[in-house]
Amino acid sequence: MKLAIEVKGLRKSFGGQTVLGGVDISVAEGEIYALLGPNGAGKTTLINILTTLVPADGGSARIAGYDVASEGGKVKQSISLTGQFAAVDEMLTAEENLRMMCRLSGMTAAESKRRTEELLRRFDLSGAARKRVKTFSGGMRRRVDLAISLVASRPVLFLDEPTTGLDTVSRRALWDIIAELKASGMTIFLTTQYLEEADQLADRIGVVNGGRIVAEGTAAELKARVGGEVIELTSEREQWSRTVATTGSVQDIGRVLNALAPTLPPDTQVTIRRPSMDDVFIALTHQTSEVSVS
Amino acid sequence: MNPTLSPLNPPSAAATNAVFIRRSLTLSLRNTESLLMAIILPVMLMLLFTYVFGGAIAPGGDYANYVVPGIILLCAGYGAATTAVDVSTDMTNGIIDRFRTMPIRSLSVVTGHVAASLARNLVATGVVIGVALLVGFRPNGTFVEWVAALGVIVLFILTLTWLYAAIGLVAGSPSAASGYGFILLFLPYLSSAFVPIDTMPDWLRGVARHQPITPLIETIRGLLLGTPVGDNAWIGAVWCAGLILIALVWCGAAFRKRAGRR
């Protein structure tokens, strides 16, 4: 298996504050890897290092086999980045933005025109091609942004919080596009703070907190780490709810319920369900007592 | 889509610059307010200095001839100041990260803004000269002298624009860039642009004489109106060359430093 992204012991501090404290990640070619974590966990810093924007303090990172620190030029020819903020010229039209990026990728005027038309069609932007991006909705802007990233067909795509701030419909549309890109063989590294997004899109998920990968695996594996079944207790009258992880065995669930019953409000209802990514996230990043029952 | 190294070769430096120059020119043309100011301001300043201040400064009525070179440089100053804001806007917006992750020399984005500033300011210069001719400017330069004067103006615009570009790169935000930019706009007032240096107090004469605007003004005046140029031409050229060099080094360093911080 060839690795598209190989990160070993990556460290970065800003002014004495450690942002990345030794990160190891391997992403195979054609895989979608989601880096999941709360704000300030170091997600964007990691993307910035992997895309050559910021130098690391220690450790190494290779993209498509090229070292990020010493072979930046080759790395840049292997990647494209869609950053957290839509990187488009608002005063230019969608078409002009795309053509400019085609030219900057080394295409001739004729190639740029053809590729631009192709991408406008593919991203359902043909109707708005001649309108300034300034007038676009958030979802359309994101589509222009993503279209620009695909101008030069680079093998590795970085998406920094691609759906933050989008409505549900736009988010789903973007997910479909990302799934299509994966089907075409692209390696995609994305960051997100939405569990559902990581769950839906990623082959593997790395949970990052405080500058470290605290857990890694498929969505199912991560859910399994939390336990077998989750008991959810809610009291409508008291506006109160609590989740408790269990091993999933009848004995364990019974034990938990027996132990808690005397302390619960009289109208408490119980639901038993599979753990969601939210449970995983809270368990791995906050270590609250709610999810770890002895 | 092919998951191998893209077969596209990175564009040449010239092609990259051409793309960014075109981008900045398009952005300049679409920023209507700023474009309108670039044309109205020279007209207003020309009329203001000729009719409001002119009578008091030169009761003889020949102030238009004296003040035109100063107005040209003053307007170039205002026009170039926009560059600081444009550069800062690009640096604080996500677009710079996209350029920097592409296999191109991303500092070219600044070159684009400098070229657009040059174009904008040459238009403004044309407006100043047009209005000046209407209000009594009577130059007697030959064609060659006009070309030389234009060369001096271009040199001045480039010098100032690169300085503003550097300011745009170090400023934390576009509004901060706009604020810092004001400092340079005072230079023309402390020169021989509007009043002869001899009329200033002693302590100010030193400042006025030993700054880049005065030799440039005197050179343009000499070329267009036949006053003695003397050493002013080469002193002005040395000032500009030195300042451009400083600005370029400053831009390069600021660009790299800024990059590491984000």
For residue range A88-97, what is the model confidence (pLDDT) as tens digits? 999 999 999 9
A294 band by pLDDT with thresholds 50, 70 and 90: very low
A248 band by pLDDT with thresholds 50, 70 and 90: confident
Rounded Cα gap, residues B206 and B181, in angstroms: 24
Q: Is the pLDDT of residue A237 over 90?
A: no
A231 bridge partner residues: A244, A272
Q: pTM of the full predicted structure?
A: 0.83
Average of per-residue pLDDT across B155-179:
92
Digit-coded pLDDT (tens) for A179-195: 988 998 899 999 988 88
State residue B180's pLDDT score. 84
Q: Provide the sign of the torsion angle of the four alpha carbons B29, B246, B155, B229, taken in this order.
A: positive
The proportion of chain A whose per-residue pLDDT surpasses 90, expressed as a percent, equals 45
State residue B133's pLDDT score. 92
Rounded Cα gap, residues A112 and A44, in angstroms: 30
**Is some CB atom of chain B closer than 8 A to the CB atom of A261?**
no
Average of per-residue pLDDT across B188-193:
87
Note the ipTM here.
0.84
- Stated as kind and residue range, the H or E segment containing A94 is helix A94-104
Q: Is the pLDDT of residue A254 over 60?
A: yes
Could you say which of A53, A54, A77 has the minimum Cβ distance to residue B103? A77
**Is some CB atom of chain B closer than 8 A to the CB atom of A100?**
yes
Q: Is the pLDDT of residue A41 over 60?
A: yes
Q: Is the pLDDT of residue B89 over 60?
A: yes
State residue A92's pLDDT score. 94
Average of per-residue pLDDT across A97-122:
93
**What is Dmax (Cα atoms) for chain A?**
76
Structure tokens, A194: 């939405």
Structure tokens, A223: 């859910």
Alpha helices in chain B (DSSP H): 13-30, 32-47, 54-57, 63-92, 95-100, 108-134, 143-170, 174-185, 202-209, 213-225, 232-261
A104 band by pLDDT with thresholds 50, 70 and 90: very high
Average of per-residue pLDDT across B139-143:
92
Sequence-distant (≥ 6) Cβ neighbours of residue B65 within 8 angstroms = B136, B137, B138, B139, B225
State residue B259's pLDDT score. 64
Q: Which of A156, A182, A190 has the alpha carbon at shortest distance from A64?
A: A156
Q: Is the pLDDT of residue A1 over 80?
A: no
Could you say which of A81, A89, A153 has the minimum Cβ distance to residue B97? A81
CB contact under 8 A, B11 and A106: yes
The proportion of chain B whose per-residue pLDDT surpasses 90, expressed as a percent, equals 48
CB contact under 8 A, B26 and A105: no
Digit-coded pLDDT (tens) for A201-229: 999 999 988 888 988 999 888 877 777 78
Structure tokens, B24: 């900045």
State residue B146's pLDDT score. 95
- Stated as kind and residue range, the H or E segment containing A113 is helix A109-122
State residue B7's pLDDT score. 62
Digit-coded pLDDT (tens) for B196-211: 888 899 899 988 888 9
Strands A187-192 and A156-160, how do they pair? parallel
Which residues between 22 and 81 in chain B have a beta carbon less than 8 angstroms from any beta carbon of chain A?
22-23, 26-27, 30-31
- Rounded to 5°, the CA angle A239-A240-A241 comes to 135
Q: Which residues of A touch B174 (CB under 8 A)?
A: none
State residue B150's pLDDT score. 95
Dihedral-angle region of residue A161 (phi above 0 means left; psi in -120 to 50 means alpha; beta otherwise):
left
B21 band by pLDDT with thresholds 50, 70 and 90: very high
Whats the size of chain A, residue-wise?
294
**Is some CB atom of chain A closer than 8 A to the CB atom of B143?**
no
Could you say which of B19, B94, B262 has the minimum Cβ distance to residue A87? B94
CB contact under 8 A, B93 and A87: yes
Q: Which of A179, A90, A69, A208 has the alpha carbon at shortest distance from A140?
A: A90
Contacts 24+ apart (CB under 8 A), B128-133: B128/B42, B128/B45, B128/B46, B128/B68, B128/B71, B128/B72, B128/B75, B129/B68, B129/B72, B131/B42, B131/B43, B131/B46, B131/B47, B132/B46, B132/B64, B132/B68, B132/B71
CB contact under 8 A, A104 and B27: no
Q: Is the pLDDT of residue A289 over 50?
A: no
State residue A279's pLDDT score. 76
Q: Is the pLDDT of residue A290 over 70?
A: no
Q: Is the pLDDT of residue B260 over 70?
A: no
Sequence-distant (≥ 6) Cβ neighbours of residue A145 within 8 angstroms = A82, A86, A87, A88
Indicate the average pLDDT of chain A.
Answer: 87
